[in-house]
Amino acid sequence: MFAGKTVAVFSLPGAYTPTCSSTHVPGYNELAGVLKQNGVDDIICISVNDAFVMNEWKKTQEADKITFIPDGNGEFTEKMGMLVDK
């Protein structure tokens, strides 16, 4: 997935959270052109949600320039040392 590419990956605590929906996702979507001009091939958002939630969130955010990847069971996030129990 990342082989031979320059990828900007960001993770968020959850879909539809207020700051993530109002600031983070729109910000990356708006900066996509600048990032691509500077050699970024793909922008990826990872969150501990299932695929259905992530797909709907992407639609409601109109974030067509970002690839949303679900981490439904939190395994990837945990292995990265970023899983937060709330």
CATH number at residue 36: 3.40.30.10
**Within a domain: residue 16?**
yes
Asked if the structure places residue 1 within a domain, the reply is no
Q: In this model, does residue 81 exceed pLDDT 90?
A: no
Quote the number of domains for the chain. 1
pLDDT of residue 86: 66
Q: Is the pLDDT of residue 85 over 80?
A: no
Domain residue limits at 37: 7-79
pLDDT of 1 reads 73
Look at residue 50 and tell me if it is in a domain. Answer: yes
The answer to whether residue 28 sits within a structural domain is yes
Using the Cα atoms of residue 13, residue 37, residue 64 and residue 50 in order, give the sign of their dihedral: negative
The answer to whether residue 86 sits within a structural domain is no
* Tokens (6 digits) for 1: 């997935």
Residues that are catalytic = 20
* Residue 64 reports pLDDT greater than 80: yes
- The 10s digit of each residue's pLDDT in 35-60 is 999 999 999 999 999 999 999 999 99
Report pLDDT digits (tens) over 6-28.
Answer: 999 999 999 999 999 999 999 99
- pLDDT on residue 15: 95
In a domain, 2, yes or no: no
Does residue 53 belong to any structural domain of this protein? yes
- Mutual orientation of helices 25-37 and 51-61 as an angle, nearest 10°? 80
